Amino acid sequence: MSFVEVERLSKRYGQTPVFEDLSFVAAKGEFITLLGPSGCGKTTLLRCLAGLTASDAGEIYIDGREISRLKCRDRGTGMVFQSYALFPNMNVVENISFGPRMKGLRRAQYLDRVRDAIATVELEGKERFYPHQLSGGQQQRVALARALVLEPKILLLDEPLNALDAKIRKSLRLEIRKIQKQLDITTIFVTHDQEEALIISDKILILDRGRIVQMGRPDEIYAAPRTEFVANFIGNYNVFSGEQMESIGCSRPAGDLFAIRPEAISLSRQPVAGNNHGIAARGLIEDRLVLGNIIRYSVRVNGCILVVDLLNREQGDWFDKGQDAGLFIPWEECKQLAAH
């Protein structure tokens, strides 16, 4: 049953549309990620949900209540900003309790909530610290606690990990997911990081120029992109025309555009024979990149460059630049795409 419903939502700045007729739903406790490049409308959409930006048309329902014309404070949303937006002259407790105080609650009414929020984000012992005394990750936890202390019906996160270094970012995104599941709070998260979206989400909505071009579970979207845009954005797919597919060994491709996952292609030092299960070809290793646990090869086959990802087992197994290699691509890994 839908807990959040967005119906035909539109927003323009002057004559320029940001998005038009956007619709989607989220279940209670679901973690939804809005994924897309800069300028696709995802942050504006989040701000429209929060009430920070007025939508031009459409309706927003939270728990059956239409909220698109309500003020921000009356919508039952909590938002965490990319910049954290902490008050530098307030300590952790004062920052977290700011929202309840602005709602006119007495100290006795919100003090337990503040303590619970601090415990939830694991900041015990930092209550009297000011933002400049905290690390970036700790500041983000304060911002998250400040949103949670209001007990919102939905939590809105606008690229909250963008300013953190890679190691802290990976750790904190898992913490956010753990807290979200623990509280069973419906969450809408904005990012342009495909890896982050795939790891943290129950459902992903991919936006391109103000349109939702594909939505579904992370595994569904990664395994079966529908368009060239999604294939190029969600992974490192090889995207080929029908003519290019013919040049690498597909005799009669039934379509105009195809995507092939780099990890689905196998390499061999011996010639590979074609069969009814896939495409066999011979290629030349043009480049090799070491990406930690993955070795990424660029292989030229009859004028086409294929990206191939293999597990980095040991250096003795690596293919060298200029070396010939056999390739095999299973038929089921050749995904037909729509052009748009």
Digit-coded pLDDT (tens) for 189-242: 999 999 999 999 999 999 999 999 999 999 999 999 999 999 989 888 999 998
Rg (CA), the chain: 24
Q: How confident is the model at residue 51 (pLDDT cuts 50, 70, 90)?
A: very high
pLDDT above 70: residue 256:
yes
CB atoms within 10 A of CB 248: 22
Residue of 213 and 108 predicted with greater confidence: 213
pLDDT at 271: 78
Both 175 and 100 in one domain: the answer is yes
Same domain, 224 and 266: no
- Measured between alpha carbons, how far is 87 from 290 in angstroms, rounded to an integer? 43
Domain containing residue 41: CATH number: 3.40.50.300
* β-bridge partners, 279: 329
Residue-wise pLDDT for 263-287, tens only, equals 999 999 987 776 678 899 999 999 9
User: Does residue 174 sit in the same domain as residue 302?
Assistant: no
pLDDT digits (tens, 9 = 90+) for 136-191: 889 999 999 999 999 999 999 999 888 788 888 888 899 999 999 999 999 999 99
With a cut of 90, say whether residue 4 has pLDDT above it: yes
Residue 83: pLDDT band (50, 70, 90) is confident
336: tokens are: 């037909």
Residue at which a domain ends, from 232, 249, 278: 232
Q: Do 43 and 147 fall into the same domain?
A: yes
Specify whether 226 is located in the same domain as 265.
Answer: no
Domain total in the chain: 2
- Helix (H/G/I), strand (E/B), else coil: 221: helix
Asked if the model's pLDDT at residue 340 lies above 70, the reply is no
Q: List the CATH number of the domain containing 241.
A: 2.40.50.140
Model confidence at 339, pLDDT cuts 50, 70, 90, reads: low
Q: Quick check: 61 and 4 in contact, CB under 8 A?
A: yes
Provide the residue range defining the domain that includes 272.
236-336
Do 189 and 245 have their domain in common? no
What does 81-133 look like in DSSP terms, one character per residue? -TT----TTS-HHHHHTHHHHHTT--HHHHHHHHHHHHHHTT-TT-TT--GGG
Q: What is the pLDDT of residue 235?
A: 81
Q: Which of 307, 274, 314, 273 is nearest to 293 (CA)?
A: 314
Q: Are 57 and 93 contained in the same domain? A: yes
> What is the rounded distance in angstroms from the CA atom of residue 200 to the CA atom of residue 178?
10
**Residue-averaged pLDDT of the chain:** 91
Could you tell me the sign of the dihedral formed by the alpha carbons of 240, 241, 247, 251, in that order? positive
- Say yes or no: 189 and 277 in one domain: no
Identify whether residues 224 and 245 lie together within a single domain: no
Average pLDDT over residues 112-116: 91
CA 21-26-32 angle, 5° bins: 95
